[in-house]
Homo-oligomer: A and B are copies of this chain.
């Protein structure tokens, strides 16, 4: 991701995610993919607003809804498409699929909560290099005990972890009032972790919040948290969406692309849109042309030491 986080660039990055994921959902019935996937359409501003500020070597820990994080982190769109298609050229050679992306400084896994202790451990390792770790989690994931073990450890040892809660108000189909007691920020304050909270899908607001948060972290503040109240327009995974369509419509009013796109002049926006269209198209075409993962490439689960 380029250092120059201009409004145009922010728009481009969000649009890349949006168009990538829309393409995934469109193409699924065509049999391009196998398995399932979780898209985050509507939540793009979080990934872009935060990860646009990531410096090289800083680590991202993501979850099942990871495409946006991965692209905003700077991961290859073609490799991501290829991974979803089970190609040998995928991020993990087709082994991981949609929710298990492992790249140089990027780690996503499909077991909710389990990644948080990993994030804290990575921060313990990265502290030596003055690097930090950015860890994403959803509102539903706050149900997992591992999260609190992680917060305690991170706070006790003042580790450089930035916890980003994407509260899209649902855990799968369960609305937040049925799965979460109390208020999200208090979950961090209980461990003495400073937390900021914002109900927004505006990428500029999120970028500003993240900028100050990352700045504090880079100056050795110890763990920080950012709670972003957001919404996902797409279904949880591929299946039916059982939410009230009016609710979805209401939140569409603050579609991050619309909000931020309105700031750009149409003549600036249009070339970006064309370029992104082109990029997404090429990524999927390249992925489709790539060889499928080959059973002969299967290696043993245990190596032979160093």
Task: Identify the A interface with B (CB < 8 A).
Answer: 142-149, 151-152, 155-156, 178-183, 186-187, 189-193
Q: Is the CB of B155 within 8 A of A144?
A: no
Which of B145, B156, B180, B193 contacts A180 (CB under 8 A)?
B156
- Which residues of B have CB within 8 Å of A187? 190
How far, in whole Å, are A251 and B143 apart by their CA atoms in the complex? 38
Contact: B144 with A156, CB < 8 Å?
A: no
Contacts A/B (CB < 8 Å), 30 sampled? A142-B152, A143-B149, A143-B152, A144-B145, A144-B149, A145-B145, A145-B146, A145-B147, A145-B148, A145-B149, A147-B148, A148-B148, A151-B181, A152-B180, A152-B181, A155-B181, A155-B182, A156-B179, A156-B180, A156-B181, A181-B192, A181-B193, A182-B189, A182-B193, A183-B190, A183-B192, A186-B190, A186-B191, A187-B190, A190-B190
The complex places the Cα of A149 from the Cα of B181 at a distance, in Å, of: 10
Q: What separation, in Å, do the CA atoms of A147 and B151 have in the docked complex?
A: 14
Please indicate the chain B residues that have their CB under 8 angstroms from the CB of A181 in the complex.
151-152, 155-156, 191-193
**Contacts A143-B152, A181-B191, A182-B189 given; 18 further ones with Cβ under 8 A?**
A142-B152, A145-B146, A145-B149, A147-B148, A148-B148, A151-B181, A152-B180, A156-B178, A156-B179, A156-B181, A182-B191, A182-B192, A183-B192, A186-B186, A186-B189, A186-B190, A187-B190, A189-B190
Residue from B145, B156, B179, B182 in contact with A190 in the complex, judged by beta carbons closer than 8 Å:
B182
Contacts of A193 in B (CB 8 A): 181-182
CA distance A182 to B181 in the complex (A): 20
Which of A151, A152, A156, A189: most chain B CB closer than 10 A? A152
Expressed in whole angstroms, the Cα–Cα distance for A155 and B187 within the complex equals 13
With both beta carbons as reference points, the residue of chain B lying nearest to A222 in the complex is identified as: B181
Give the distance in Å from the alpha carbon of A187 to the alpha carbon of B147 in the complex: 13
What CA separation (Å) do A181 and B155 show in the bound complex? Answer: 6
Chain B contacts for A156, CB-based, 8 A: 178-181
Rank and list the top 6 A-B pairs by shortest CB-CB distance, nearest first.
Answer: A145-B145, A155-B181, A182-B192, A190-B190, A186-B190, A148-B148
What residues of chain B lie closer than 8 Å to A149, measured between beta carbons?
Answer: 143-145
| Chain B residues with CB below 8 A from A179, complex form | 156
Give the Cβ gap from A242 to chain B, nearest Cβ, in Å.
Answer: 21
Chain B residues with CB under 8 Å of A143's CB are 149, 152
Contacts of A189 in B (CB 8 A): 182, 186, 190
Nearest CB of chain B from residue A221's CB, rounded to whole Å = 14
